[in-house]
Chains A and B, each alone.
Chain A
Amino acid sequence: MDITLQVSNISKSYGPIHALKNVSFSVPRGSVFGILGPNGSGKSTLLGILLQILQANNGTIQWISKEGSPLSRHQLGAFLETPNFYHYMSGYNNLKITSAISGRGTIADIDAILDQLKLAHRKNSKFSTYSLGMKQRLAIAAALLGNPSILLLDEPTNGLDPEGIAEIRNLIQQLAAKGTTIIMASHLLDEVEKVCTHVAILKKGELLTSGSIRELMSGEEIIHLDSADLTHLQEILQGYPGISFMKIEGDLLKVHAGRGEIQLEAINQYCFQQGITLRQLTLHKKSLETTFLELTH
């Protein structure tokens, strides 16, 4: 597997508090990698260490370029926690500083990214006059400036309205399609499930699991069935092969089974042979939220 980031045995303590305990994982090149965890799980500490603004007590971080050499910081665009800019300067001039320090982007790129993030009309306004959503957009603009090959985003949709959230989600998907590796911390599991290909889940500084979302959620499937008499349907399905558990919830019978163990065509035919006509038959995968809650509780 082509790796762009290797995290090995990272530990970090603040006095007696262990913020991270021997965390190791790798980020495949071109993936959208979500770092998940409840509040206080160590997500921001981990990102801070990845960006070298926090010092780990133990462990190593390796950013690896396509050629296998250490990655230049100029190929990394990032923002962490809150948008940090010079309040007395305009959004445009703040991005000029970002560009000068990072070596990413040109003057034309600054105009283009401000336009893309819908800040062009306020580019000459002082940062202190921006709304929370505009500040967040400017932080994303700074991270995206000059098309870095890796993006590291901490709660990128914070402070955005629903339209803004959808735009950022689309933007992340577009960048991922172009091959940009994106590492993002978020507590919005629905968002992560929509955009991420891989995740690492942290709890109290420990890495509970990491890997592709598909593998993580591959354990169980749920089939939703509806018919005129749900109690009779439940009786009929007692003993049907592959069912691990079923229950009536509202006007649906929810059948739990192992991945791929039940074919929808087969169960439909079976019910029909038993004299029951199904009004609904749909397959649902377990949501990331369910998986997350199972792992963290």
Chain B
Amino acid sequence: MLRNIIHISKVEWMKIKQYPAWWILIGVVALTYPATIVAAHSFYKNATEGNNDARMLAKMILGNPFSFPNTWHTIAYFSSFFILLPAILVIMLITNEFQYKTHRQNVIDGWSRTQFITGKLIDVFIITLWVTLIYFLVALYFGATNSDGNWYDAWTEIHYVGLFFIQTFSQLTIAFLLGFLLKRAFMAMAFLVFYYMVIENILVELARNKLNDWGRFLPFEVSDRMIPAPGFYARFGDDMKKAYELTLEKIPEHTFFTLCTTLVIWLICFRIFSRKDL
């Protein structure tokens, strides 16, 4: 099995390493993530540096979200806003195969249908690894430069790296499903943006205070709740602290449902592709 996965990975790498959009989009991801955090950090510094009362109050409330160990959580949260960039790449990698009919040719040349979809799963995995690596390096850099050389608790929230990886993989899997089902890049991207930015947010808000908050199980929301907003507000009294702690306690549950959703989506893709006419 390992040999088969290595073989498929090699072929997928041959396909993507010559695809110009691949290099452009991973370059954009590599620049966008740090640039955004630099902007956020600059905003934070402007709001908290200096001796006037307002700035000192802001610093007291916010603490330093960019120092160790907060950096892992803070930067995971902000980085997750940019999932649409790698999602475009995932959609293009699958819709290209349909557009050029190379999915048929791969099977004609001797791949099983399972091998073909495994190749796409590996693509999503590689892109997720890349995005996670960028997040890790950015978080590490900001932690190192905001902690006054203090590394003693640098790794206490390192589990956010794992959560960020699972969240990214899950959300890119949804993007893959749309490309796989709709077959056209433009349609899949348009649907993804509309659903991610509009439809799901409306449904989540509608369900938040009614229907037992079932919106938490929607495909993006369930993984979004794995990395809740950093808990600045927990400093405002016991109720806020309790609310934040409850959010954190729910992370394992949401991680479990995220993994289930991701698994189900891939099983659907494997099953559909193994049965349909190409």
Contact = CB atoms under 8 A, between A and B. Distances in A.
Interface in B226-248: none
Contact of B108 (A51, A74, A97): A51
B110 A102 contact: yes
Contact of B107 (A51, A82, A86, A93): A51
A100 B108 contact: no
A100 to B, nearest CB: 5
Interface string A22-53: 00000000000000000000000000100111
Given A74-B110, A93-B18, A97-B11, A53 B104 contact: yes
Interface in A45-91: 48, 51-55, 73-74, 76, 78-80, 82, 84-89
A55 B110 contact: no
Contacts of A102: 109-110
Contacts, number: 65
A96 interface: yes
Interface residues of B, number: 24
A52 B277 CA distance: 9
B174 to A, nearest CB: 25
B18 A89 contact: yes
A53 B14 contact: no
A17 interface: no
B110 A100 contact: no
Contact of A80 (B20, B96, B104): B104
Interface residues of A, number: 28
The secondary-structure label for the interface of chain B is helix
B275 A55 contact: yes
B108 A78 contact: yes
B277 A55 contact: yes
A98 B96 CA distance: 17
B100 A87 contact: yes
B111 interface: yes
B210 interface: no
A297 to B, nearest CB: 31
A216 B104 CA distance: 34
Contact of B19 (A73, A78, A88, A100): A88
A54 B278 CA distance: 6
B110 A103 contact: yes
Contacts of A87: 100
Contact of A86 (B102, B109, B110): B102
Contacts of B104: 53, 80, 84
A98 B105 CA distance: 9
B110 A93 contact: no
A147 to B, nearest CB: 15
B10 interface: yes
B159 interface: no
Nearest to B111: A101
A86 B15 contact: yes
A205 to B, nearest CB: 16
B106 interface: yes
Nearest to B11: A100
Contacts of B96: 86
Interface string B3-22: 00001001100110011100
Nearest to A47: B108
Given A78-B108, A86-B15, A100 B100 contact: no
A51 B105 CA distance: 10
Given A55-B275, A55-B277, A100-B11, A88 B107 contact: no
Interface string B85-101: 00000000000100011
B101 A101 contact: no
Contacts of B275: 55
Contacts of A96: 14
Interface of B: 7, 10-11, 14-15, 18-20, 96, 100-102, 104-111, 275-278
Closest CB pairs A-B (n = 8): A84-B105, A73-B110, A84-B101, A53-B278, A101-B109, A102-B109, A102-B110, A54-B277
Given A73-B110, A79-B105, 14 more contacts: A52-B107, A53-B104, A53-B108, A54-B277, A55-B276, A74-B110, A84-B100, A85-B105, A86-B100, A86-B102, A93-B14, A98-B105, A100-B11, A101-B109
